[in-house]
């Protein structure tokens, strides 16, 4: 027995005639027997309920379809998704119904499908991926479009940098980074350009990443926080050892040996301004004088070398000459006494071989060259010039006291013990008999002195 399948138009025409004759209910019952074919399994529950999908006056089913398919309706209204980018008013042109229970409503050619008609145009490596690698469910619109949903297994950062992969990567290659750090508040310079992202960004909250040096480099601080957290005052991003701090712009310019000193030697606290600027503040332990010469080291020493003395004693009231040049400062300057007495005996009383008998004016006889050096005292300018043997006599043999002017000048005053005449001639040793040349040499003229010249035997 042959069946005649009516077209939708023919069915609609018959439905109108039946409605006019018997009413809606009877007409629909009759129409079930004249349907163009069974609906698909997806619409099976609507079979026989023609007005769920059809209208009596419109040929198109667009509004009826969107009444059920609200997701598609949203795409159409927003002009998004696949249906929003094409002319979706003729649903039946793609989705054919009344073709039987096993009919597939979605006619889809994967090879010819243009992904640009969707909200996710394929670019780069995505163009090489098979559809089924991303579309794991039959309902393609439910396929996630964010990177992380598909690439969580490829995340080398283990989620630390968040799920917005597109911030740094693009579809061409994972290794090709598109994020431009120079457009942020923290441009990457020097060694920072070689650091892995997750080394600084410990979480996906990028804004909370510290931008201070110590925020990342506290463990690298060789100063142990003593110099404070402002690393950039001295260091650059190029390398730790490249120092940019210019000490010459401070109140304490580094010169000489100070240029070679490690920062921590002087700066022992983070408060750099509290670092002492005086020598003794740092070099107390180096003071060989044990504080005896005071704390103004700069009076004598320079930054070049401790052993190099720059104090010029020649500019003082007591210029150093002779042996005094080699004497250690503290030998004379004890207990920070700079106005040290300048008299010879103030320092040399213990050296006085005369035991004070010649007074305190050592300089009248001695010089700074040596104690034993030729005396500078000129006896020839006194009322008792030294002649002959007298020039060889030590001062103390004649000058028994420090009162030089009271020293007797008569021969017998000193040579009474040497008088072989036992005072017979009244103690007159000198002219006309003896001279300073020697006792045995005499100049006595018997004829002249006595009027009795000695002749013959």
Rounded Cα distance between 190 and 237, Å, is 5
What is the value of pTM for the model shown?
0.43
State yes or no: pLDDT of 5 exceeds 60.
no
Whole-angstrom distance, CA of residue 102 vs CA of residue 80: 30
pLDDT at 70 over 70: yes
CA distances from 8 to 38, 39, 41, 276 (A): 12, 13, 19, 103
State yes or no: pLDDT of 21 exceeds 60.
no
pLDDT at 85 over 90: no
Which pLDDT score, from 0 to 100, does residue 89 have?
81
Q: Write down the pLDDT at residue 174.
A: 84
Q: Which pLDDT does position 374 carry in this prediction? A: 59
Q: Is the pLDDT of residue 95 over 70?
A: yes
| pLDDT over threshold 80, residue 59 | no
Q: Average pLDDT in the 77-90 region?
A: 87
pLDDT for 193-208, tens place per residue?
999 888 888 877 787 8
At 34 the pLDDT is: 60
State the average pLDDT for the chain: 83
Whether the predicted pLDDT of 57 surpasses 70:
no
Q: Which one of 122-131, 135-144, 197-206 scores highest in mean pLDDT?
A: 122-131
Please tell me which residue, 50 or 272, carries the higher pLDDT value: 50
Which backbone phi and psi does 151 adopt, to 5 degrees?
-110, 20
Mean predicted confidence (pLDDT) in 51-61: 77
Q: Long-range pairs for 115-122 at CB < 8 Å and ≥24 separation?
A: 117/82, 117/85, 117/86, 118/81, 118/82, 118/85, 119/80, 119/81, 119/145, 120/145
| Amino acid 186: pLDDT | 94
**pLDDT(222) > 70:** yes
Which residue is it, tokens 């008999």? 433
Angle between helices 8-22 and 24-32 (to 10 degrees): 140
As a whole-number percent, the residues of the chain with pLDDT over 90 amount to 21
Give tens-digit pLDDT for 412-438: 888 888 888 888 877 777 667 788 887
**What DSSP element (H or E) covers 346?**
helix 344-348
pLDDT in tens, 162-186: 888 988 898 988 888 888 899 899 9
Q: Is residue 240 very low, low, confident or very high in pLDDT (cuts 50, 70, 90)?
A: confident
CB 32 within 8 A of CB 6: no
Alpha-carbon gap, residue 333 to 341, rounded angstroms: 9
**Given a cut of 80, is residue 13 above it in pLDDT?**
no
pLDDT at 23 over 70: no
Q: What is the DSSP letter of 429?
A: -
Tell me the chain's radius of gyration from C-alpha atoms. 62
Residue 294, pLDDT above cutoff 80: yes
Between these two residues, 215 and 356, which has the higher pLDDT value?
A: 215
- What does the pLDDT read at residue 25? 52
Per residue in 313-345, pLDDT tens? 888 889 999 999 988 887 888 776 777 888 898
Contact 211, 237 (CB under 8 A): no
What's the confidence (pLDDT) of residue 355? 81
Write the CB contacts of 326 (distance below 8 Å, at least 6 apart in sequence): none
With a cut of 80, say whether residue 18 has pLDDT above it. no
pLDDT confidence of 28, banded at 50, 70, 90?
low
By 3-state DSSP, what share of the chain in percent is helix, strand and coil, each rounded to 5? 40, 5, 55
pLDDT band at 10 (very low <50, low <70, confident <90, very high): low
What is the rounded average pLDDT of the residues 49-61? Answer: 78
């Amino acid at each position: 027995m042959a069946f005649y399948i009516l077209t939708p138009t023919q069915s609609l025409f018959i439905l109108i005639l039946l409605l006019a004759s018997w009413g809606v209910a009877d007409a629909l019952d009759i129409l079930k027997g004249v349907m163009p074919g069974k609906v698909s399994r997806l619409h099976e529950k609507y079979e026989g309920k023609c007005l769920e999908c059809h209208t009596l006056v419109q040929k198109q089913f667009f509004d009826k379809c969107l009444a059920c398919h609200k997701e598609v309706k949203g795409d159409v209204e927003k002009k998004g998704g696949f249906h929003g980018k094409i002319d979706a008013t003729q649903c039946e042109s793609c989705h054919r119904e009344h073709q039987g229970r096993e009919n597939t409503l979605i006619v889809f050619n994967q090879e010819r499908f243009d992904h640009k008609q969707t909200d996710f145009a394929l670019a780069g490596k995505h163009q090489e991926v098979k559809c089924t690698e991303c579309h794991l469910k039959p309902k393609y619109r439910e396929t996630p479009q964010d990177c992380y949903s598909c690439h969580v297994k490829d995340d080398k950062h283990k989620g630390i940098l968040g799920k917005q992969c597109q911030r740094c990567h693009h579809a061409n290659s994972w290794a090709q980074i598109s994020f431009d750090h120079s457009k942020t508040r923290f441009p990457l310079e020097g060694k920072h350009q070689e650091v892995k992202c997750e080394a600084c960004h410990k979480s996906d909250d990028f804004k909370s990443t510290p931008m201070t040096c110590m925020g990342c480099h506290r463990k690298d601080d060789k100063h142990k926080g003593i110099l404070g957290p402002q690393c950039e005052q001295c260091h650059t991003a190029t390398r730790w050892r490249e120092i940019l701090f210019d000490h010459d712009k401070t109140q304490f310019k580094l010169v000489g040996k100070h240029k070679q000193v490690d920062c921590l030697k002087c700066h022992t606290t983070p408060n750099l301004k509290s670092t002492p600027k005086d020598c003794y503040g740092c070099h107390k332990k180096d003071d060989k004088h044990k504080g005896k010469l005071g704390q103004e080291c700069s009076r004598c020493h320079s930054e070049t070398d401790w052993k190099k003395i720059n104090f010029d004693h020649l500019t003082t009231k007591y210029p150093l000459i002779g042996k005094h040049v080699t004497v250690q400062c503290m030998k004379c300057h004890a207990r920070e006494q700079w106005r040290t007495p300048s008299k010879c005996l103030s320092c040399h009383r213990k050296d006085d071989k005369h035991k004070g008998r010649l007074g305190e004016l050592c300089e009248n006889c001695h010089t700074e060259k040596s104690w034993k050096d030729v005396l500078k005292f000129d006896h020839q300018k006194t009322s008792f010039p030294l002649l002959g043997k007298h020039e060889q006599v030590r001062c103390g043999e004649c000058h028994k006291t420090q009162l030089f002017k009271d020293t007797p000048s008569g021969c017998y005053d000193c040579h009474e013990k040497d008088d072989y005449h036992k005072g017979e001639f009244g103690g007159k040793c000198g002219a006309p008999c003896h001279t300073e040349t020697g006792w045995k040499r005499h100049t006595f003229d018997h004829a002249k002195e006595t009027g009795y010249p000695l002749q013959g035997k």
